[in-house]
Amino acid sequence: MKNRRKFFKSVGLATATALVSGLHPKGSSAESKIKWKMVTSWPKNFPGLGAGAETLAAYINKLSGGSLVVKVYGANELVPPLGVFDFVSSGGAEMGHSGAYYWKGKTEAAQFFSSVPFGMTAQEMNSWLYYGDGIKLWEEVYSDFNLVPRPAGNTGVQMGGWFNKEINSTADLKGLKMRIPGLGGEVLAKAGGTPFTLAGAEIFTSLQTGVIDATEWVGPYNDRAFGLHKAAKYYYYPGWHEPGPSLECIINKDAYDQLSDQLKAIIDLACKAANIDMISDYMSKNYQALEYFKKENVQIKQFPKEVLIKLNKISDEILLELSQKNKLSKKVYDSYVNFLNRVRPWTLISEDGYLSSVK
């Protein structure tokens, strides 16, 4: 911690201390500006996710009238995609934009703050984060790493993925070679399949050459950009493994603590605005990509109910195992599962009660 602080102080936060009492007038002097770096896990301007990071930075700049200027770095510009957590933790950058499930190697509990199989939808997740214990617990989990977390986006329910084998029953999961990382992969393994973890760039060729039978990615908008419909026969829904992934903004705690209350509010509320923006953006782009796939005669299929029930049952077991890994995992699991079990009956009456009536 001592080294982190030392390093941090040497890389550009000296100006922050002058500003604890509030914003300076725009352009009053060069000294009044704080310059921050935001490292991200996405290629620069990557549709949806990278755009979300840019939006967030732009909001902070605008809200502060240029007093806090955040520069966004794409993956590999300063650190690799999965180096974001450590880099912000140590103060190499003051801010990061990523997904919490990438940090399960650091702390198992992190996964609940992005998405877990058969977990909450975006609206449920935001309700837990903002009006349940979500953010409080997330702060507790990340405090060991000198980080302050804020929800900063959501993709909405993703797609189940691209398949070259038809899934008609749970038997079809046996031996299925599928690119599906994280908890979703653990569920598939327990159902008899073989999960692969492949980087984005390797997916298309692996699917086309038959190294894998199937892959999940994100949803129509991102999947179209990858051309995955040219390498697979069937496009399955729903994305049971990622029903409402929340994206994160992480802030180095030393940097955050040195900000005025006003600049803290600016970051917090810029994240909130960016949160609703991302899913609104995704919806408007996903429907267009879906229309494109239909024109291209992509076969869009729903997983059979039997398969989803089986995967749901396994998911429950996997989450229970996760909760037993350590005390913090148990604490977060208890809060998450309790909220999900209580909010879901309302979601089914309201959101699903309505949508099922207009099908």
Judged by CB under 8 A, the chain residues 324 through 353 that form the site for its own copies are 342-353
Q: Among residues 2 and 354, whose Cβ is nearest to its own copies?
A: 354
**What span, in angstroms and rounded, lies between the C-alpha atoms of 154 and 186?**
23
Smallest distance from its own copies to CB 309, Å: 8
**What span, in angstroms and rounded, lies between the C-alpha atoms of 173 and 33?**
56
Among the listed residues 2, 295, 327, 359, the single contact to its own copies using CB under 8 A: 359
Among the listed residues 91, 96, 99, 132, the single contact to its own copies using CB under 8 A: 132
Helix axes 327-349, 305-323, angle to 10 degrees: 150
Site string for its own copies, 92-131 (x = CB under 8 A): --------------------------x--xxxx-xxxxxx
Among the listed residues 78, 198, 225, 269, the single contact to its own copies using CB under 8 A: 269
Q: Among residues 79 and 332, whose Cβ is nearest to its own copies?
A: 332
The stretch near its own copies (CB under 8 A) out of 21-29, 73-81, 104-112, 209-217 is: 21-29
User: Per residue in 4-17, is it b (16+ CB within 10 Å) or e — as a string?
Assistant: beeebbeebbeebe
The stretch near its own copies (CB under 8 A) out of 69-77, 83-91, 189-197, 301-309 is: 301-309
- Sequential DSSP letters for 218-285: S-HHHHHHHTGGGT-SEEEE--TT-SSPEEEEEEEHHHHHTS-HHHHHHHHHHHHHHHHHHHHHHHHH
Residue 267 · residue 194 · CB < 8 Å = no
Q: Among residues 13 and 311, whose Cβ is nearest to its own copies?
A: 311
Tokens representing 80 are 């690799």
**What span, in angstroms and rounded, lies between the C-alpha atoms of 115 and 153?**
12
Site membership for its own copies, residue 30 (CB under 8 A): no
Q: Among residues 59 and 138, whose Cβ is nearest to its own copies?
A: 59
Among the listed residues 18, 82, 171, 265, the single contact to its own copies using CB under 8 A: 265
Site membership for its own copies, residue 251 (CB under 8 A): no
The stretch near its own copies (CB under 8 A) out of 36-44, 107-115, 164-172, 288-296 is: 288-296
Site membership for its own copies, residue 217 (CB under 8 A): no
Q: Among residues 166 and 352, whose Cβ is nearest to its own copies?
A: 352
Site membership for its own copies, residue 47 (CB under 8 A): no
**What span, in angstroms and rounded, lies between the C-alpha atoms of 307 and 16?**
54
Smallest distance from its own copies to CB 322, Å: 19
Residue 42 · residue 53 · CB < 8 Å = yes
| Residue 194 backbone phi and psi in degrees, to 5 | -120, 105
Judged by CB under 8 A, the chain residues 48 through 77 that form the site for its own copies are 59, 62-65
**What span, in angstroms and rounded, lies between the C-alpha atoms of 79 and 85?**
10
Query: In a 3-state reduction of DSSP, which class is residue 348?
Result: helix
Among the listed residues 10, 17, 169, 280, the single contact to its own copies using CB under 8 A: 280
Site membership for its own copies, residue 7 (CB under 8 A): no
Judged by CB under 8 A, the chain residues 149 through 178 that form the site for its own copies are 156-159
Residue 133 · residue 270 · CB < 8 Å = no
Number of continuous H segments (helices) and E segments (strands) in the chain:
13, 11
Site membership for its own copies, residue 45 (CB under 8 A): no
Query: In a 3-state reduction of DSSP, which class is residue 158?
Result: coil
Site membership for its own copies, residue 283 (CB under 8 A): yes
Site membership for its own copies, residue 181 (CB under 8 A): no
- Residue 133's Cβ-count burial label (10 Å; 0-12, 13-18, 19+) is middle
